[in-house]
Amino acid sequence: MKVMKACKSTRLASVSFVLLLARYAHAALYDHSSATVISINDDTLTPLNLPVPIKFRDMDINNIYISDNGLVTTDATKETFADAIKTNSIWIAPFGGDVAPDVNSKIKHATYLAPGTPPPSGVNVHVNQVYPDVNFSPTSAYVITWENVDMIGDSSFTGNTFQLTLTTDGTKSYAIFLYDVISWYPGVTGVNAGDGNVQRVCNTDTAAAQQLPQKTNIAACGVDPGVVVLRIDQTGIWGPDCVTVSQPEACTTQGILGGGDRNSQTLPFTSCATTMICGALLILIVRQLT
């Protein structure tokens, strides 16, 4: 009887452990340890050639300009944030804002061309999570990282860290936004075609922006939080509604740990030993937090 009670207690602890992980977990940025670091100053644009063009609506984009202000543009004259986000400009912004780079800020870029240097595996995973019917297999990806960038005129926040990945299979193209830390806001997040069509993520001009590392634009079980994926090759009407983001649906513990059907309601904790291990892990985490 005592053993059964212990198992029941640790099973509850195990479930709590899973929920705790779900609450604080978010997708990791793609590895950028060997990416090229850009020399930045306030309101600067750095050109980046795209050996394999990105399909953008009815055009091929072969060159982009990386702005310290949390976006990329196709226009070399759009140096300031205010100019870059005008409605007649093409811009792609994971988190655009008036940035004041400091000694702790870094901007990096990396180019991946299959088969020699294949894109990070997460590119394929994240696109297919959000667009499960496209069977996407990228042939190229361009990953840009803004690390610890500060908002101009306000040093009370820590810096924001996020990524933009532009990827294509030669036909379909996507912009992937990954969020590690969003401390300050407001920001502009989305894709603007410069012809009145825009895909804009909702509420990034409010405190809700700070929750982007825990949200996604498809709230399905198993989708990584902190990921927004937008398709950018389609020529239909974008908008007028903004793109909503929310926390992914909570998978059952079977779906998370059991390797089974995501819709299963069966707990994977089939033995007392398993639940005791998970309970012990929970205790260790709590001790670390306190």
**DSSP secondary structure letters along the chain:** -HHHHHHHHHHHHHHHHHHHHHHH--PPPPP-TTSEEEP--TT-EEEEEEEEEEEETTEEEEEEEEETTTEEES-TT--SHHHHT-TTS-EEEEEE--B---TT-EEEEEEEETTTSPPPHHHHHHHHHHSTTS----SEEEEEEEEEEPBTT--SSPPEEEEEEEEESSS-EEEEEEEEE--S---EEEEE-SSS-EEEBTTTTSGGGGGGGG-BSS--TTPPSSEEEEE-S--S---SSPBP-BPPPPPPHIIIII-S-TT----S--SHHHHHHHHHHHHHHHHHH-
Span 98-119, average pLDDT: 93
pLDDT band at 238 (very low <50, low <70, confident <90, very high): very high
pLDDT in tens, 197-231: 999 999 999 999 999 999 999 867 878 899 999 99
- Report whether pLDDT(102) > 90: no
Residue with tokens 């090229």: 36
Q: Which of 50-54, 119-123, 250-254, 271-275 is the least confident region?
A: 271-275
How confident is the model at residue 285, as a pLDDT? Answer: 42
CA–centroid distance for 4 within its chain: 43
Which tens digits make up the pLDDT trace of 170-203?
999 999 999 999 999 999 999 999 999 999 999 9
**Residue-wise pLDDT tens digits, 49-64:** 999 999 999 999 999 9
Distance CA 230, CA 159 (A): 25
Q: Are the CB atoms for 159 and 95 separated by under 8 Å?
A: no
* Phi–psi pair at 4, nearest 5 degrees: -65, -40
Q: Please, what is the Cα angle at 245 between 243 and 247, to 5 degrees?
A: 165
- The tens digit of pLDDT for each residue in 264-278 reads 332 232 333 433 344
For the chain, what percent of residues have pLDDT higher than 70?
A: 76
Stated length of the chain: 290
140-156 pLDDT, tens digit per residue, is 999 999 999 998 877 66
- Side chain identity, residue 280: A
Backbone angles phi, psi at 246, to 5 degrees: -155, 170
Residue type, 195: D
pLDDT for the residue numbered 39: 86
Rounded CA-CA distance 252/255 in Å is 5
Amino acid in position 52: V
Q: Indicate the pLDDT class of residue 41, thresholds 50, 70 and 90.
A: confident
